[in-house]
Structure 1
Amino acid sequence: MPDPGTEIKMSSKPTSKSQVGPAPKRLCSNLFLSIKFFVFCHSLLQLAQLMISGYLKSSISTIEKRFGLSSQTSGLLAAFNEVGNTALIVFVSYFGSRVHRPRLIGLGAVLVALAGLLMSLPHFISEPYRYDHVDFDLPQDSASSLCTPSQASALPSASIPAPSNSSCALYSEAPQMVVVGLMFLAQTLLGVGAVPIQPFGISYIDDFAHPTNSPLYLGILFAVTLIGPGMAYGLGGLMLRFYVDIDRMPEGGISLTPKDPRWVGAWWLGFLVSAGAVTLTALPYFFFPREMPKEEKELSFGKKILSSLDDKGENSLINQGAGNSPNKEKDGEAQLAPDLTVLQFIKIFPQVLLRNLRHPIFLLVVLAQVSMCSMVAGMATFLPKFLERQFSVTASFANLLIGTVSIPAAIVGIVTGGVLVQRLHLGPTRCATVGVLGAFTCLLLGLPLFFMGCPTHPIANVYNPSTLPENGEFLNCIQLCSCSKSDFNPVCDTRSHTEYVTPCQAGCTEVQGDPSPGHGSVIYTNCSCLISGIRNSSIISGSCESSCSHLVYPFILLISLGGAVASISHTPAFMLILRGVKNEDKSLAVGIQFMLLRVLAWMPSPVLHGSAIDTACVLWADTCGMQSLCRYYDHDLLRHRFIGLQFFFKLGTLFCFTLVFTILRQQDKEAARSKSHHNSVPQEEKLALKLEKNSGEFKV
């Protein structure tokens, strides 16, 4: 490796044999002086980084149950990594190539890995998970929430006992704040660490790759990194099958199965796996030079691909990528900030921001992308939880469906949009047309989702009390049983399809047999408080199964098709932005675009979706007088508000793209009218009009 003093003086020509040392050193040097190896390393790093940032969304409902969080709080947690990212992303455009980009990428990746370790820390500093909410000096068993009428009759009045002091101490506000604060801090570090990874990696590849190979390398990079979110959901589906305290399993095991609503999977394990993957992929970046010899050879197979796609037209993506050589890009950046200090850059940035926001095409396309990203952010964060609640599927299975169906469908849509722009030579107006058609089709595919579900089954003393004829007698019965308000051990009466929060509320006094841990459902007998009126009957543990479970497959299919169609407009929208701003503003325009997407979409959307989900709650967990997570939702209300919010953002995307299409259509008509007028004027006036046109700004 050359020392820092000689790095900048390196020639772009291949090193001669006389200048090279021993074979192992030459092999190592050549490896880290290869832009192909950098593309390989950067693809793996971005895949691992997206996997660790997407893993939280796959386990968001599990973290809610483990630490008693509302959906609004968990949505804020999911969006908090954008805070550090947004605060620093603009300065990436300023620093450019002034820093040692590979080392800064490596440092950012180390910070991302540290954030992953910090996210798993609450598991190790918290007490073991107690799914039956009994004291720690009592065993966790199926009899912890049975009806005890003999004790109730001995009391002066039929009152519900309060939780013990030792139980309440576990749920005090201070430990809860520490745990939540650690996760928020980890999310902030995750956002800060992710700032230099993608921008510096793309600029490094574009600077030192052959101009013709650069688009191919970037295409490979994006194709590999798109797999990251899918792998995150797949990893979540795998880890949530294990019990949360797999590293400290209680003696005798547990009597829960993954289908039990009290089940909490090993959410923390995925963060350790992802952090290890990020750490391994970050190591090579500390050995790459600040500047490497520019690639001189064009890839043979790349030449064949590019020649088959090249249309020699002004709308070709490949021509645009090859034509924008690093020198031209640097010249464009130099016109904006040749030797500006940080303070000068901060002063000039608002002018560039306002200049771009005054451009109607740029503003409308960014607003369309804001609406689309808001839809994606809410869906990515809370779709697993929605599937769990609406269709009674496990968290593991919900993540598996999203990772294997929805994410690949979105990848296919993005690739299809790029191919359409390339092969059909789409101009600005046609790019807007693709956006309008994609948004309209996505809107139509979302309409059936409002009706794909069924109402919540009856829950005694919680939901739909009008259908429970013996409600007064039922309340008297559970008072005699001395049932605790904080217990949660749902049981189901399969004959009436009615659910009870605990066996105590059903009046059950015995457990049939002694089931082995994790095998089958527990059967409770001698239940005397059943709404059905059948005395001394038996019921089974667990929530009642949804009668709409079979609809999960068509639901996820429609969601995936809508996402794929909406993703087709991703590349056309990006091309509209690149063609709608000045050449010297392109670098900052892209930075402004991503900044606005974070501020207006990725940050508020999860909180907004979480708040909408919370409004559909019909029973909140009450632990020592504190409201924590939601136990039961009104399924119809949950579906209408969650899908309705998605529908609202789809409508906003369609509206913005329609305005873009209208403006571009009007500009085309004016251009055609001007051309016809140009053909009708004398030759002398044509020359004058041509000179005036060349001196003015070229519009979209």
Structure 2
Amino acid sequence: MSMKNDQLEQFDPTLNDRLLINDDSQSSTLVDRTIDDEQSKVEEEEDDDEVDHLTTCGIGSWRPKWMQVFASPFFFMLNLGLVGVIQGMTGTIFFSSISTLEKRFGFDSKISGIILIADNFADMILNPIMGYIGIRYNRARLIGLGELILAFGSFLTASPYFIYGPGTHLLENQAFFNINSTSTNFEMCNVDRPLEQCEDNQGVTVWPAVIIFILGSWFRGMGYTCYFVVGLPYLDDNIKKEQSPLYISMMHAIRLVGPAFGFMLASFCLSFYEQPFVDPGFGRNDPRFVGAWWLSFIIVGLLLAIVSIPMLFFPYQFKDASIKADDIQVKIKESGGTKGALKRFVSNPLVILFISGNIFRYIGLGGYIMFKSKYIESQFRKSSSSASFITGFTSFLPMAFGIMIGGTAISFFRPRPKTIFIVVFIVEAVSFFTVGSGLLLGCDPINIDGGLNDMNKFSLQSSCNQKCDCSTRVYQPICGNDLKTTYFSPCHAGCSSYNSKTLSFEGCSCSPGSVATKGYCESDVTGCNNLVKYISVVTFGNFISSIARTPNSLIYLRTVDPIDKGFAIGLASSLMDIFAFVPYPLLFGYIADKSCLIWESKCGKTGNCWIYDHDKFRKYLHGGAITFFAIGSLFDFLMIFFSDYVRNFYDDDEDDEEMQSLKEVELTPNDQKLLEKRGFKLGAPLNSGSFACVCKATYNGTPIAAKVIDLEKTSDDYRLKFLPREIYTMKKLKHKYLIEILDIFVVGNRVLVFMELAAGGDFLDLLHETKALSESRARYFYLQFGDALRYMHSIGFAHRDIKCENILLNKERTESKLTDFGFTRSVNERKSGNQMLSDTYCGSAAYVAPEVLKAKPYNALVSDVWSMGVVLFVLVNSRLPFGDRETKKLLASQLEKNYKYTKNISKQLRQLIDWHLTPDPNDRPTMEDVLAHEWFQLE
């Protein structure tokens, strides 16, 4: 129904067949909050060494006491940080080694792009799967296993060196290079030189090695998956929301140290020749030099294997976890599973804008970083090792500092979500301009001898070397006698010999004075002073843009429903793989190849690019990057207008202003006005669930609460079954210790349930503050909500979701009231009046009776009694009686009555709780029997 003719239609129970309820913040599908596990001394006969396998470190039954000091989010963060650092090194050492690998194995940038995207194909497939199923297993252990797979991928990537050995084709054979006493490994102009030998395949792409690199990249991608898709939700679920900015910024910042170290490690390894203990006869700046690319992969693989092992010992979850994984699984199932999660994902405009913006941003950022090292090497005439070091220094270390500053600022200042969105847009825009400045900070191109041919392509051939039959198989730059002109090789300068005494080439028909010297002309090397400016501007841009990294992560985590967190991160990661991480290596590889002037060529086949067109490379690389940055910033700007979708950012009441504005948008002024005519006024949300939120409200000025149910977010099963049942129940039940329903309305696609306000929180809030209750206080409250349940049973209603969170307190905490009737139903048949059995799995696992876990039809009334026994146990012990999260273990503990009391619990109360927790439902008491127990007569 909707509002028509200025009439606010009151809810009609006859519409029960068409409406559905969803969970709210206090519903049965919400995650059970952790009971404070601190307890008084147990009885002497109890086993002090009993271990909770879900919250302790170890594997299987081996869980030594000394290891338990590490069972905390802090130590997990430290281990995750070490894993992240070394994992971050793996990608950048490949980036740093691209030009070396292209040179060594003779492939071009397009093939490099294919190798790089192989890991994204693994991510693409595994991300949503791991995001959805990861929560069902020990997530820390999954991360450890993933990193071991990543280590294997690193070893595999290094294996071509051990298979093929060092590259010798760049040294070439004596016959081809006319090596004799007067020439040393240089291609000379010699008309008598034998024809190029093509049968040895040296210098041609080594395809088996390329396939190995692709497989190594695939395994690395498998290892990458768990770190963020599993690790980020695991960390966020185990810490308080107000701590999230600091922890998440640490996670991002520490990991970014890894890429910086990766560039440095690659720089160090590439400074050695491929076969480290062999002198190739020329220096690192010689284009023929091939560094020890394989060594960095071996080192990183070993380090990964070492730091991944401790990750295998962390618990399923930590004792003070803010969200329990087992309960999230129940919530996912009850809220529509993957279908429901996907529906909420695609219908969230902020999620769509967030992912769209990041897709374009990471295309630009990924492509820019991928070729930044090669760009510095070409544009500023630096060696591969120097370019790698500069890239790491300017890209990742500043970003790590920026991330920490961003996270710390959010933790300290706690800005409103809208303010965070604006800051994100500003810093990303600044980054756009700093990267764009690279268009203006280049160097003049090398004055290479050559020009455009008839096909408008750059050619090295001229009249002075046309009879030399020169090749471009190896780049061997020499400087002409004018000290300004660089020749591709001695052959292209028309040189016929090398004088080892004067260290110069002679008989050079293309060079003035027929003399030339080894290497670049000095003007080409020292004539450009823009490198420092370029590094400074880019470093500043990376620092500024990284300030937005932590806010971006938090925005996404707070935008999606908590139960969808892992699935949403996994699905977003797959979309990023498909539309960003797969295209950018190919796109920017194409850009780099289009900028190439001179290619390696042997036997008619093309290898890597030797010389780039400086102007084209600078314009294409930076122009492409800032184009994608600009589009990404546009989506950042649009997100500002949807910032009100972010709920409960810090998990406290300071979000009320933001939440209030959200509801003012959702309810039209006309709807609000009509509600006020009935005496009702809707206020700011208190908290929210999958399909509903509980808001502050007033009725004729008196504070009350309102449950707002969004029908668009519910499944057909709920709409047709549970909502009608809950609304019917709420209108039917009247008792002093049941939350009173004042009125129910339908406004558009929302159901508004106005109810009595319980301002004192629930029993878990009370227990977190006071620990266990005294027996007298527990008795006082039990008589209240116990009588409410007795009343419900007397008129044929079973609650089916009794737990501490569903028992609320008034402001003074002198009265307790039973609430949340989402699973409540009549147990009597309408015609015969006979009692019916239930077959729906209802409630939270820690509170439900054994017969419910067995998934067999059960008597819902005596099942409620079991849940009341668990509640009573919790009130006086400040912990759950059964700690197991796995259904089979939990059921076994229930049937064996495997629970223990703290000291000073009276004999009568133990007997009463034991009576509640009778495994056989036929022997379990009714609520009438329970309230007549002698414990209630004690003072």
Q: Which residue of 1 aligns with 2:131?
A: 93
1:643 shift after superposition: 0.5
1:314 aligns with none
Partner of 2:496: 509
The one of the two structures with greater contact order (alpha-carbon pairs below 8 A, sep at least 6) is 1
Quote the offset at 1:683 in angstroms.
4.8
TM-aligned CA distance change 1:235 to 1:486, over 3 Å: closer
Instruction: Map residues 234-245 of structure 1 onto 2, 5 A cutoff.
Output: 234-245=264-275
Q: CA deviation at 1:37?
A: 4.0
Which residue number corresponds to residue 429 of structure 2? 440
Q: Work out which of the residue numbers 247, 259, 262 in structure 2 matches 1:229.
A: 259
Superimposed CA distance per residue, residues 552-603 of structure 1 (whole angstroms, 9 cap, x where no aligned partner): 1111221122222222222333333334334443332232222222222222
For the residue of structure 1 that corresponds to 2:466, the secondary structure is: helix
Work out which of the residue numbers 389, 402, 405 in structure 2 matches 1:400.
389
**Structure 1 residues 66-121: Cα deviation after superposition (integer angstroms, max 9, x where no partner):** 11221222122222211112211111222234334444333222211111111111
- Aligned mate of 1:256, from 276, 282, 289: 282
Report how far residue 646 of structure 1 moved.
Answer: 0.8
| TM-fit CA distance, 1:537 | 2.5
Q: What is residue 414 of structure 1 aligned with on the other side?
A: 403
Over 3 Å counting, the alpha-carbon distance change for 1:581 and 1:110 in structure 2 is closer
Residues 335 and 54 (structure 1 numbering): CA distance in 2 closer, same or farther, change over 3 Å? same
User: Partners of 2:184 and 2:454 in 1: how far apart?
Assistant: 27
Task: Name the CA distance, whole Å, in 2 between partners of 1:228 and 1:90.
Answer: 25
1:491 aligns with 2:490: no
Cα distance, 1:427 vs. partner? 2.5
1:170 to 192, 202, 205: 202
Deviations 1:401-435 (A, max 9, x none): 22223212212222233234344433332222112
Q: What is the CA–CA distance in structure 2 between the aligned matches of 1:233 and 1:55, rounded to whole Å?
A: 6
SS at match of 1:481: coil
- Specify whether residues 630 and 543 from structure 1 end up closer, same or farther in structure 2 by C-alpha distance, changes over 3 A only: farther
User: Could you tell me how far 1:658 is from its partner in structure 2?
Assistant: 1.9
Is the contact made by 1:458 and 1:499 (CA closer than 8 Å) also made in structure 2?
Answer: yes
Whole-Å separation in 2 of the counterparts to 1:378 and 1:98: 36
Rounded to whole Å, the distance in 2 between the matches of 1:270 and 1:40 is 23
Instruction: Summarize the Cα distance change of 1:131–1:389 in structure 2 as closer, same or farther, 3 Å threshold.
Output: farther
Instruction: Give 3-state SS (helix, strand or coil) of 2:396's partner.
Output: helix
Give the structure 1 partner of residue 680 of structure 2.
Answer: 687
Among 504, 514, 522, which residue is 1:536 paired with? 514
CA-to-aligned-CA distance 1:474-519 (integer Å, 9 cap, x gap): 734323334345343221226252221211221222222269xxxx
CA contact (8 A) 2:267 2:386 kept: yes
Percent identity between matched residues is 24
State how far apart, in whole Å, the 1-side matches of 2:400 and 2:485 are: 42
Q: Do the aligned residues in 2 keep the contact of 1:373 with 1:601 (CA within 8 Å)?
A: yes
Q: Deviations over 1:25-61 (max 9, x none)?
A: 9564435656554433332222212212322112222
Structure 1 distance, partners of 2:246, 2:443, is: 48
In the aligned structure 1, how far is the partner of 2:318 from the partner of 2:69? 12
Give per-residue Cα distances to partners, 1:448-495, cap 9 Å, x unaligned.
3212113423322356999xxxx99x7343233343453432212262
For the pair shown, the structure with the greater C-alpha radius of gyration is 2
Q: Which moved more, 1:99-108 or 1:177-186?
A: 99-108
- Asked whether the 8 Å contact 2:480–2:515 carries over to 1, the reply is no
Other structure's SS at 1:632 match: strand
**Cα distance change, pair 277–372 in 1 and its aligned pair in 2 (3 A):** same
Unaligned runs of 5+ residues in structure 1 are 1-10, 153-159, 296-323, 516-521
Matched, 1:134 2:157: no
Task: Tell whether the 8 Å contact from 2:85 to 2:258 is kept in structure 1 after alignment.
Answer: yes
Deviations 1:294-348 (A, max 9, x none): 25xxxxxxxxxxxxxxxxxxxxxxxxxxxx8123x654442223699xxxx6xx3
2:591 match:
612
* Structure 1 residue aligned with 2:632: 653
Deviations 1:157-205 (A, max 9, x none): xxx8531145x433456xx110100000000011112323444445555
Question: Equivalents in 1 of 2:449, 2:570: separation in Å?
Answer: 54
Moved more, 410-419 or 623-632: 410-419
Matched residues, number: 621
Match of 2:466 in 1: 479
Query: SS of the counterpart of 2:280?
Result: coil
Partner of 1:361: 350
Query: How far apart in 1 are the matches of 2:38 and 2:501?
Result: 77
Secondary structure of the residue that 1:90 maps to in structure 2?
Answer: helix
Provide closer, same or farther for how the CA distance between residues 698 and 552 of structure 1 changes in structure 2, counting only shifts above 3 A: farther
Check 1:673–1:214 CA distance in 2 against 1; reply closer, same or farther (3 A cut): closer
Give SS of 2:184's match: helix
Shift of 1:614: 0.5
Could you tell me which residue of structure 2 aligns to residue 311 of structure 1? Answer: none
* Structure 1 residues 207 and 585: alpha-carbon distance in aligned structure 2, compared to 1, 3 A threshold: closer
Tell me the secondary structure at the aligned position of residue 446 of structure 1: helix
Deviation at 1:19? 4.6
- Which residue of the partner structure matches residue 523 of structure 1? 504
Secondary structure at the residue paired with 1:549? coil
TM-superposed CA distance for 1:276, in Å, is 0.8
1:641 deviates by: 0.5
The aligned amino acid for 1:143 is T
Residues 69, 484 of structure 1: CA spacing in aligned structure 2 closer, same or farther, 3 A cutoff?
Answer: closer
Distance (whole Å) between structure 1 residues aligned to residue 221 and residue 242 of structure 2? 33
Judge which range, 253-262 or 650-659, deviates more: 253-262
How far apart in 2 are the matches of 1:218 and 1:569? 12
Match of 1:302 in 2: none
- Aligned match of 2:213: 183
Deviation at 1:143, TM superposition (A): 3.4
- Residue number in structure 2 paired with 1:589: 568
1:480 is aligned with what amino acid?
A: K
Any idea what the Cα deviations from partners look like across 1:191-235, whole Å, max 9, x if unmatched? 112323444445555666688877765554444323111111111
> How far is the alpha carbon of 1:399 from its aligned partner?
1.7
Aligned counterpart, 1:42: 80
SS class of match (1:255): coil
For the 8 Å contact 1:146–1:507, the answer to whether it is kept is no
Q: d(CA) in 2 for partners of 1:399 and 1:117?
A: 21
Moved more, 91-100 or 260-269: 91-100
When residues 279 and 206 of structure 1 are mapped into structure 2, their CA distance, relative to the original with a 3 A threshold, is same
Inter-partner Cα distance in structure 2 for 1:670 and 1:683: 15
Do 1:71 and 1:610's aligned partners in 2 also have CA atoms closer than 8 Å? yes
Contact 2:286 2:476 in 1 (8 A): no
Kindly provide the amino acid, as one letter, of the partner of residue 202 in structure 2: L
Distance in 2, matches of 1:292 and 1:436, equals 35
Matched, 1:69 2:47: no
Q: State the match for 2:92 in structure 1.
A: 54
SS at match of 2:443: coil
Pick from 322, 325, 331 the counterpart of residue 325 of structure 1: 322
* Range that drifts further, 352-361 or 541-550: 541-550
Gaps of 5+ in 2: 1-35, 51-61, 646-657, 684-696, 698-704, 713-939
204-213 vs 128-137, greater mean Cα deviation:
204-213
Q: Which amino acid aligns with 1:575?
A: L
Residue 81 of structure 1 pairs with residue 151 of structure 2: no
* Structure with greater proportional strand content: 2
Partner of 1:321: none
Match of 2:650 in 1: none
CA distance in structure 1 between the partners assigned to 2:633 and 2:711 by the alignment: 27
Higher helix share: 1
TM-score w.r.t. length of structure 1: 0.79
> 2:285 is paired with a residue of what secondary structure?
coil
8 A Cα contact 1:59 1:267, kept in partner = yes
- Helix, strand or coil: the match of 1:92? helix
Secondary structure of 2:601's counterpart equals strand
Q: Give yes or no for contact 1:406–1:556 (8 Å, CA) kept in 2.
A: no
- Partner secondary structure for residue 486 of structure 2: strand
Structure 1 pair 414–697 and aligned structure 2 pair: CA distance change class (3 A): farther
